[in-house]
Each structure stands twice: as structure tokens, then as C-alpha cells.
Chain A
Amino acid sequence: MIAMPKLVRPLGTLLALLAIITGILLSAPPSLASTTSPAPGATTAPAEPSPYKIGGVMRNTDGPVPGVRITATGEGFSGEATTGDNGTWSIGVPVKGTYQVEVDVSTLPEGVELAKGTPNPREVTFTNTSNAAAVFPLGEGIVVQSASFGEIFVERVIAGLSFGLLLALASVGLSLIYGTTGLTNFAHGEMVTLGAVVMFGFSVAGFPVWLAMLLGVIFGGAFGWVQDGWLWKPLRRRGTALIPMMIISIGLALAARYTILFFFGGATQQLPGASSPIVEIGVISISRNTLLSLIISLVVIVLIAMLLLKTRLGKATRAVADNPALAAASGIDVDRVIRIVWTVGGVLAALGGILWAYYRPGVTFNMGQQILLLVFAGVILGGLGTVFGALVGSVIVGLFVELSTLWLVADLKYVGALLIMIVVLLFRPQGILGRRERVG
């Protein structure tokens, strides 16, 4: 459909693309790094940052309550914290377990007391997460969630947008790969994990946050490049059909996941600045990382969209997605376009992984696998193989996941998104933006 009479020079464009993405990343981290300042009410006990935290917010009807002393004891450990100006407090603890958390009632301001029936001290037990919450409602008749439904709703929408856009980073890459090669890549989740794991590795080695992040993203791109060069291109040459390729990607996903587990271990680790302060915008309070993540992914996605729509490489990519044979006949180097698509897909997935590690928060060996199905859901919702459909679909999935927590228990929030995907397939199998003839 899109005729490309001249040979594109994708490599130069790729470098330009990488440079632009690099530029974004370089400009973003300083603001990100500022979030590494310790949360108010910093812990007094452990010198090294602990991966497990007990935390909460002390707030009154009038707003946050600063300067309250809270102690946690248990598992042979005791620590204390004082609530900061925004009422938040957190205590780093060495191991997961059960702790007695007590509010020092004498440090509460005049006229403020714990709500009736609030156990003090209260028992806090870690479940599967690395954070445990201990909420002490203050004053009379205060319910734990003091914010109104409208405020919570807006907060969930912002969180959902942030989550949806980071999903979109991964799903745009997946969709580009599907569009140009026809491969449903089950190893995309591991490309997501790789970004966060590499960033964690470099930040532990002492690299500054922005450099570690950049290296994580570069490694992601390199992984995409190597994957195509060593695995997928030879397979395309052999004429391997799509279903075997899909199964090969499953094998690759298993091998990559357990390789990461082999080197990284099964524990949940935190990236620097993972516990960010809460930003108050009007009545809405939202984590700063969530907000930053939203901005970063938005900028990157707009850039990718511009690249696809405005540049020759973007045109070539769309041409290959439309009809590889015709594109090749028009003088487009199809293999080269596909290589770039894999590299960009790797870059986007790695960036999505880093943002996902901040969003969850935590880096684990299977974090990419956890969102892989949501990424698929986004891609299918929007229409398999359409890039903008993947974007729209992912944002819908992200919003749906976060908003469903208003009505659904939190551990079922992914179920809603997956169900929506199945329902959409029932009524509009080509997806929201997909074209009818694409569905067999």
C-alpha cells in the first residue's frame, strides 16, 4: 500500500531513534533521582536500606499528622519512625514476619487520639509483598479511607493511566513484532524483566540511577537485536512456520526466566528511589514515581508514534507490516526493518520493565511474566498487529485494572482485565482498531 521507491537507510534512523530515547532518559533521571531522598519519617534502625517495610500514613480529618512516634518490634528486631510533614512513616525491617506496631500516644498532638476500638499495639504480618501497611485511624468516627469516592476515583484513574502507559511500552513493541513478522512472542515478558534486572545490577554496582537505567534500556535493545540476529532471522530463513516459532518463543521465555532466576535469585529487590513521597495535587495524592512513570512513558510513546508516522523508517515499518513481499519489491530491506523493530521492541520492553519495577514496586525474576498476559490483553483489545490499537488497548487495560480495585478485591484485579479481553473477542474479534480482514 505504501510505496517506498527508494532504499531506506534504517541504521542511521535507528541511531537517531536511540539518541532521542537516550536523550529522554538522560533528561528524566535527575528528577527521578530526586525521589531517592529518604521518605520523611526515615527509619532509625538499619543502616543499610532494608527491602521490607512497614508503613502507613497518619492523617486526621484536617490533614496529615506529623511528628508521631511509631515503633515496630518482632522477629528479634525493633525500630522506630516519626511521621513526616505529610503524615507518612515507614520502618525498614530485616525479614518478613509478624511485628507489633505501636503508636506512642503521648506524641500525638493535643486533641487528637486514636479512633475508638483501634488496637494499639497492633499486629502486622507480611504477606507476599515486601511492604506491609499499618493504618491507625485517628479521631472519632474516622474510617480508614478518609478520601471521598471522587478523590479515590481520580487517583485510580491517574494510577491506571500510568500503569496502562507502561503496559503500552511493552505492547507497542510486541505489536510491532507481530505486525512485521507474524510472531506472537511469549518471551516478551522476559524482555521486560531484563530491563529492570540489568538496571538493578548496575545500580547495586554503584552506578548512578540515570546511568543504570540507561544501561538497562540499552541491554534491552541489545537483547532484542541479538534475539533477531541469532534466533529469529535464521528461523525465518529456514521457513519455519509461525506456530513452531511461537512454541520456540515459549522455550526461550522459560530458558530466559530461569537464567534470570539463576543469577538474580528468587528474592524481591528494590530499585533506588523505589519508595517515593506522595505528591499532593489539590485533593489528590499520588506517588511521585507513578506520576514520573506516566510522563516518561507518555513522552516515549509520542516519540514512537511520530517516528512511525513521520519518518521514512516508520513508513517502511508500516509497509513491512502491511505486506512484506510488496515492501521488499519496493526496495525496502525487510530483514533490516525487522531487526530494527526487534531492537526498538527490546528498548521499549526494557523501559516498560523499569517503570513496572517502580510501579509494583520491586524487581523479581518473574515480574515480566506477571504482566505478559495484560500486555497480550492490551494488544488483542486494540487489534492484533495495529500499533495504535496496542496503545489504546493497553491504556484501557491499565485503567480497568486500577479502577476495578474500587469494587473488586485487589488480588483479583487482573482477572477483570483478562475477562474483558475474552468478552471483546466474543463481540469484536478484530479489536477496537483492528481491521476485519485481519482475523482468520
Chain B
Amino acid sequence: MDFLNIFTNALGEIVSPTTAAYALASLGLAVHFGFTGLLNFGQAGFMAIGAYGFAIPTLLWDVPFAVGVLIAVVGSVIFALLLGIPTLRLRADYLAIVTIAAAEIIRYVVTTNELTDITGSANGLAAFEGGFYAMNPFPQGTYNFGLTSMNERDLWIRVVAWTLVALCCLLVFLLMRSPWGRILKGIREDENAVRSLGKNVYSYKMQSLIFGGLLGTFAGMIFTLPRGAVQPANYQTELTFFLWTCLLLGGMATVLGPVVGAMIFWVVLSLTQGLLYGAIEAGYITFLTTTQAGQLRYILVGVALMLLMIFRPQGVLGNKKELVFA
């Protein structure tokens, strides 16, 4: 087994664009759940809107990069409004079921054969990332960073993705310190108390839903740009649940928790995959196929989610006093 390679790959996950996308989407969930107490199980839908909302206009009308991003953002806001209007007045579990249903509706709609010309149905869309890489300021070449090296495209997407994550973290941090953030936390703790102070709880919840959803939308774009393809199978409910695992791993009512959670999630996934595959290829493990080893990791994700929730619901960075549920 090539341990050095396995560890380098696992460490590379810390800065990979996928990790950045997970961190950003989980940060959105932190805004929803950790700070406002909204149970959003449809973050995959927001990510899909980011990916498709950007890819479809780019391919269909050949719009510039910035316009594509803007369309995705508008789509995300509309989606959040549609979700919020019927459910934000109701109990938390209603929002959970409606958001998960809405995310699935989006996936069904982009998968249907009727809209193949627009969405590419199950095969998805590709070749829409040109505008993004055309803005790449790094000259062509190989960039070495100690153990790992990457080309100018990999470097550009990583710089953009992590800059965006850092900016969003800063924004969330400042917002949650502001009076606006204090009202959100107040809603999380006791909705009726906030209402009795004359605040429009419904409107604040809606703003939180839109803001967290936007973070998910940006995450969807970051997720899809390095792949150069968007496929509906990537936006199943599992994605949402993985994001929840990242969030709960790091700490739900923290700013850096989702980022740390996403890093741990991907490093552990990469490490277990590397070690299991290595052991299978070297013949140490004979009772597993590589496919089964891949599935084994997701069993572990499920078990980890349960154990986290049972034994350390505040996560790695969290503060037990800030739990939505005592």
C-alpha cells in the first residue's frame, strides 16, 4: 500500500472545491437550523438550482458568467419564497417534509425526458464552465505545493471557492453578531417571546431561509464548475443528509463548524476509501469488493450521524448552550 499517496489524497480533500461546496452549503444549513431553528432538508434543491440556474442560461442563451450567476440567485430566492410561504407558519417538521419534497420535485423536473432539450434529463448538462475559466488570472502551468501539485484550472477554482467560503463565513459571523442575528437566535430560543417584542417572526424566518438558501446556491455552482457537468443524480436527498452530517459534525450554531465538519467528512471518506481499496488490492482484505468498500463508507456515515446526534449533538466546535434542542 502506498500510504504516502493515500494520505496526500486525503489531505488534498481539505482544500478541494467539493469540500468548499459542502462547507458553504452546510453554512447555509447552520444559518437555517443552528441560528434560526428551521429544519431545511432540501438544501440539495438549493444546490441544484445553483447548478442548473447557472448552466441552463449559459448553454441556452450563451449569457455571460455574471448574468448566469444572477439568474441562479434569483431562482434561489424565488424557490425559498415558494417554500417558505406555506410552511414557515407551521411546526418545524412540516418545513422538513416540504423542503425535502420540493428538492425532489426539482430533481424530477430536471430529470424528465420532456425537458431534455433544456436540462439534458438524466445525462445532465456539460461544457458551461468556459466563462468561469476564461477569467482565470493564473498563467498556464503546473503549480507545486509541497506534496501536491495542480494545474492552473484547479488552482483557480480552489482560490475562488475558498475565498467565497471565507467571505461567507465572515458575513455570517458579522450578521449573527448584529441585531438581525440576535433576533434569529431569539426565534430559535422562543418564537413567541420574539413575537411579543413586536418583531415579525415570519418575515425574519423567511429572510433566514433565503439567505441560507443562497449559500446553498453558491455551493451548487462551486460543486459543479470543476466537474464541468451537472447531473440530477448528484442532487438526491442523500446530498442533503451528508450536508447535515457535516453541519452536526462541526457544530450547528457555529460559523466555522460547518467548514471544519466538511473537511473532516471528506478527509475521513477519502482516507477510508484509500485504506480499504489499498488493503483489498494488496490482498489483506479478501471478503470485500471495492464496490462494497465504497458502500461500507456510507454505512459508516449513517452510523456516525446517529452517534453524533446521540452522544455529541453540539459537534466538534459547538457550545451545548446553543443547541436548538436542549
- A: residues with CB less than 8 A from B are 128, 184, 235, 240-244, 246-248, 250-259, 261-262, 266, 369, 373, 376-377, 380, 384, 409, 411-412, 414-415, 418-419, 421-423, 425-426, 429, 439-440
Cross-chain contact B309 with A429 (CB below 8 angstroms): no
Cross-chain contact B305 with A247 (CB below 8 angstroms): yes
Cross-chain contact A412 with B114 (CB below 8 angstroms): yes
Most B Cβ at <10 Å: residue of A243, A254, A423: A254
Determine how close the nearest CB of chain B comes to the CB of A377; give it in whole angstroms: 7
Cross-chain contact B112 with A412 (CB below 8 angstroms): yes
Separation of A274 and B89 alpha carbons in the complex (Å): 45
A-B contacts, CB under 8 A, total: 129
Cross-chain contact B295 with A262 (CB below 8 angstroms): yes
Cross-chain contact A422 with B241 (CB below 8 angstroms): no
Cross-chain contact B326 with A241 (CB below 8 angstroms): yes
Question: Which of B98-106, B158-166, B274-282 is found at the contact surface with chain A?
Answer: B98-106
Separation of A376 and B237 alpha carbons in the complex (Å): 14
Q: Determine whether B324 belongs to the interface, using a CB cutoff of 8 Å to chain A.
A: yes
Q: Determine whether B96 belongs to the interface, using a CB cutoff of 8 Å to chain A.
A: yes
Chain A residues lying within 8 Å of B303, measured Cβ to Cβ, are 251, 255
- B: residues with CB less than 8 A from A are 39, 85-87, 89-94, 96-98, 100-102, 104-105, 108-109, 111-114, 122, 237-238, 241, 244-245, 248, 291-292, 295-296, 298-299, 301-310, 313, 324-326
**Nearest 9 CB-CB pairs, A to B?**
A255-B302, A254-B302, A251-B305, A251-B306, A440-B91, A241-B325, A426-B86, A258-B298, A418-B101
Cross-chain contact B301 with A254 (CB below 8 angstroms): yes
* A/B interface sample: 6 pairs, CB < 8 A: A128-B122, A243-B92, A247-B305, A257-B302, A409-B113, A411-B113
Cross-chain contact B93 with A425 (CB below 8 angstroms): no
Cross-chain contact B104 with A373 (CB below 8 angstroms): yes
Partner of A415, one of B93, B108, B307: B108
The binding surface of chain A is classed by DSSP as helix
Separation of A250 and B105 alpha carbons in the complex (Å): 20
Cross-chain contact A262 with B296 (CB below 8 angstroms): yes
Cross-chain contact A254 with B305 (CB below 8 angstroms): yes
Cross-chain contact B98 with A429 (CB below 8 angstroms): no
Determine how close the nearest CB of chain B comes to the CB of A69; give it in whole angstroms: 32
Separation of A384 and B292 alpha carbons in the complex (Å): 38
Chain A residues lying within 8 Å of B306, measured Cβ to Cβ, are 248, 251-252, 255
Could you list 9 further interchain pairs (A-B, Cβ under 8 angstroms) beyond the known A251-B309, A439-B94? A184-B93, A184-B97, A241-B326, A242-B325, A258-B298, A373-B100, A415-B109, A422-B98, A425-B94
Separation of A259 and B306 alpha carbons in the complex (Å): 15
Separation of A426 and B307 alpha carbons in the complex (Å): 36
Partner of B310, one of A240, A261, A419: A240
Query: Are A412 and B237 CB-contacts (below 8 A) given A251-B304, A262-B299?
Result: no
Determine how close the nearest CB of chain B comes to the CB of A283; give it in whole angstroms: 30
Partner of B309, one of A244, A258, A380: A244
Q: Which residue of A lies closest to B238 (CB)?
A: A254
Separation of A369 and B122 alpha carbons in the complex (Å): 19
Chain A residues lying within 8 Å of B111, measured Cβ to Cβ, are 411
Chain A residues lying within 8 Å of B100, measured Cβ to Cβ, are 373
Chain A residues lying within 8 Å of B237, measured Cβ to Cβ, are 369
Chain B residues lying within 8 Å of A411, measured Cβ to Cβ, are 108, 111-114
Cross-chain contact A250 with B241 (CB below 8 angstroms): yes
Chain A residues lying within 8 Å of B102, measured Cβ to Cβ, are 418, 422
Separation of A380 and B302 alpha carbons in the complex (Å): 26
Q: Which residue of A lies closest to B122 (CB)?
A: A128
Chain A residues lying within 8 Å of B114, measured Cβ to Cβ, are 409, 411-412
Cross-chain contact A425 with B324 (CB below 8 angstroms): no
Q: Which residue of B lies closest to A265 (CB)?
A: B291
Separation of A181 and B96 alpha carbons in the complex (Å): 18
Separation of A419 and B86 alpha carbons in the complex (Å): 12
Chain A residues lying within 8 Å of B292, measured Cβ to Cβ, are 262
Chain A residues lying within 8 Å of B94, measured Cβ to Cβ, are 380, 425, 429, 439
Determine how close the nearest CB of chain B comes to the CB of A194; give it in whole angstroms: 15
Chain A residues lying within 8 Å of B296, measured Cβ to Cβ, are 258, 262
Determine how close the nearest CB of chain B comes to the CB of A338; give it in whole angstroms: 18
Chain A residues lying within 8 Å of B309, measured Cβ to Cβ, are 244, 247-248, 251
Query: Are A380 and B325 CB-contacts (below 8 A) given A262-B296, A414-B108, A422-B102?
Result: no
Separation of A256 and B241 alpha carbons in the complex (Å): 14
Separation of A266 and B296 alpha carbons in the complex (Å): 14
Cross-chain contact A253 with B109 (CB below 8 angstroms): no
Chain B residues lying within 8 Å of A242, measured Cβ to Cβ, are 93, 325
Chain B residues lying within 8 Å of A414, measured Cβ to Cβ, are 104, 108
Chain A residues lying within 8 Å of B104, measured Cβ to Cβ, are 373, 414, 418
Cross-chain contact A376 with B97 (CB below 8 angstroms): yes
Cross-chain contact B299 with A412 (CB below 8 angstroms): no
Cross-chain contact B295 with A261 (CB below 8 angstroms): yes
Separation of A412 and B108 alpha carbons in the complex (Å): 6
Q: Which residue of B lies closest to A261 (CB)?
A: B295
Cross-chain contact B310 with A248 (CB below 8 angstroms): yes
Determine how close the nearest CB of chain B comes to the CB of A384; give it in whole angstroms: 8
Most A Cβ at <10 Å: residue of B97, B98, B114, B292: B97
Separation of A415 and B98 alpha carbons in the complex (Å): 12
Determine how close the nearest CB of chain A comes to the CB of B12; give it in whole angstroms: 25
Determine how close the nearest CB of chain A comes to the CB of B4; give it in whole angstroms: 29
Q: Which residue of A lies closest to B299 (CB)?
A: A258
Chain B residues lying within 8 Å of A257, measured Cβ to Cβ, are 302
Chain B residues lying within 8 Å of A261, measured Cβ to Cβ, are 295
Separation of A429 and B109 alpha carbons in the complex (Å): 25
Q: Which residue of B lies closest to A425 (CB)?
A: B86
Q: Which residue of A lies closest to B298 (CB)?
A: A258
Partner of A253, one of B86, B89, B113, B302: B302
Chain A residues lying within 8 Å of B97, measured Cβ to Cβ, are 184, 373, 376, 380, 421
Separation of A247 and B298 alpha carbons in the complex (Å): 16
Q: Which residue of A lies closest to B313 (CB)?
A: A244
Separation of A190 and B205 alpha carbons in the complex (Å): 33
Separation of A419 and B102 alpha carbons in the complex (Å): 8
Determine how close the nearest CB of chain A comes to the CB of B241; give it in whole angstroms: 5
Cross-chain contact B310 with A235 (CB below 8 angstroms): yes
Cross-chain contact A421 with B310 (CB below 8 angstroms): no
Chain A residues lying within 8 Å of B91, measured Cβ to Cβ, are 439-440
